[in-house]
Structure 1
């Protein structure tokens, strides 16, 4: 395992584009801290975002993992370009000539996906912990380390998403087209979701549940369901909602079924990548 990871990171170390994208990605993860600096002082109106509780423990684990997941497309570019470069520079064929099996080749890519996901998760944990210790109103150990399942969900989400990107990179061979294919798939899922809402338009109650019960099995929707939007959990949002007669009863927890679905899709993507590579005449 270590040997395969070393091979991949040796390639990445000599790829300038991958290094730049990785730096941008981790720079953006760090930029979450800049949210604390957002202030509005307009006459009597004074608004400081950090005072709204977004960095309170344990809410910060939910908020920061949700925000950090938005930047995952930068590492997706690294993953798909990593695969397209294998074809462009013919390193894939050279690796196989040097004795690396096709199974080991796919595993080396998958191990790289896991390492990127793990490092991202640890990075978000560190940034969140520092921000929470500075701004949180609750600093008891039991509160600080509660709700850490959002970090686990973040890790699973990245592994699934990058595995999808890896599969598309092998299928299409060109990084730009692989990313475009990911966007097209996102659009397809959105169209299907819209059609389901249209199909269930006559249902008076439970239309969201009916659509979600089907959409939860699609890969990108399943990944999105791992970490649901955190904004409606904020006290200020709930206060405004109650004033206009709205009450949020949303389940924000990390669902076991969602985790299982993403893990199944991850397995499908990796196995399909291996099957595709095995079938091809390189």
Structure 2
């Protein structure tokens, strides 16, 4: 495994696009800390975002995992480019000539995808821990390290998304078209969900039970919006007598399992495509 990872990271460090998008990802990730310290002034009102409780333990794990997941597209570009460059630069053929089997080639990509997801989760943990220690009103050990399941959900979510991007990269061979197909797939899922909700089932609960098995939707379900947990939002909803936002933010084991099954399907599909393809 270490040998295959070394080969991949050796390729990536000479890729300009990889370095650029990875840097953008890390900068935007760390921008959370800067954003938290900004004071907003509206007339006589002066407030700091961190004072609103969004960085309190253990809520911060949920909040940061939700917003950090939007940045995954930058690493997705890196992964798709990593695959497409193998074809455009013909390094995949050279690797096979040099003695690397197709199985080892795919494993090297899988290990890289897992490494990206692990590193991203570690960055999320460090950034969230630092922000929490600075801004949180609750610093008890038991509170700080509660609800860390959101980090697990975040890791699985990234792993699923990156595995999907890897599969599209192997399938299409061109990064721009692979990313385009990813966008089309997202639109298609949205259309399917709305058709089932407003035409076939005409019921939101039945639609949710069906849509949770779709790849992108299953990943989105792992870390849902955190706003309904804020006391300010809860108070507003109680006063209005309605639930504006969904209150189901619990991470269920079967949701993790669904995404992990998709991960296995995408990894196996990538290997099957490469195995049957004449290079």
Q: Would the TM-score normalized by the shorter structure come out above 0.5? A: yes
Kindly provide the CA deviation profile for residues 148-169 of structure 1, in whole angstroms up to 9, marking residues without a partner as x.
Answer: 0000111111111000000000
Of 194, 218, 226, the match for 1:222 = 218
For 1:235 and 1:44, the matched residues in 2 are separated by 24
Deviation of the 1:127 alpha carbon = 0.3
Tell me what 1:242 maps to.
Answer: 238
Task: State how far apart, in whole Å, the 2-side matches of 1:175 and 1:58 are.
Answer: 38
- Cα deviation digits, residues 139-198 of structure 1 (max 9, x gap): 000000000000011111111100000000000000011011000000000000110111
Change (3 A) 1:201 1:244: farther
Q: Which segments of 5 or more consecutive residues in structure 2 lack a partner in the other structure?
A: none
In the other structure, the counterpart of 1:55 is 55
Paired position in structure 2 for 1:126: 126
What is the aligned length?
278
1:188-239, CA deviations, whole angstroms, 9 ceiling, x for partnerless residues? 000001101112575xxxx321110000000000000000100111111111
Map 1:57-206 onto structure 2 (within 5 A): 57-199=57-199
Q: What is the deviation of 1:253?
A: 1.3
Looking at structure 1, the residues matched to 20 and 107 of structure 2 have their Cα atoms a distance apart, in angstroms, of 24
CA distance in 2, matches of 1:201, 1:124: 38
1:264 aligns with 2:261: yes
Compute the displacement of 1:48 (Å): 2.4
Q: Distance in 1 between matches of 2:50 and 2:204?
A: 32
Cα distance in structure 1, aligned partners of 2:226 and 2:77: 27
What is the Cα deviation at residue 32 of structure 1?
A: 1.4
Gaps of 5+ in 1: none
Q: TM-score, normalised to structure 1's length?
A: 0.96
Contact 2:60 2:128 in 1 (8 A): yes
Q: Is the 8 A contact 2:201 2:207 kept in 1?
A: no
Runs of 4+ in 1 over 3 A off after TM superposition: none
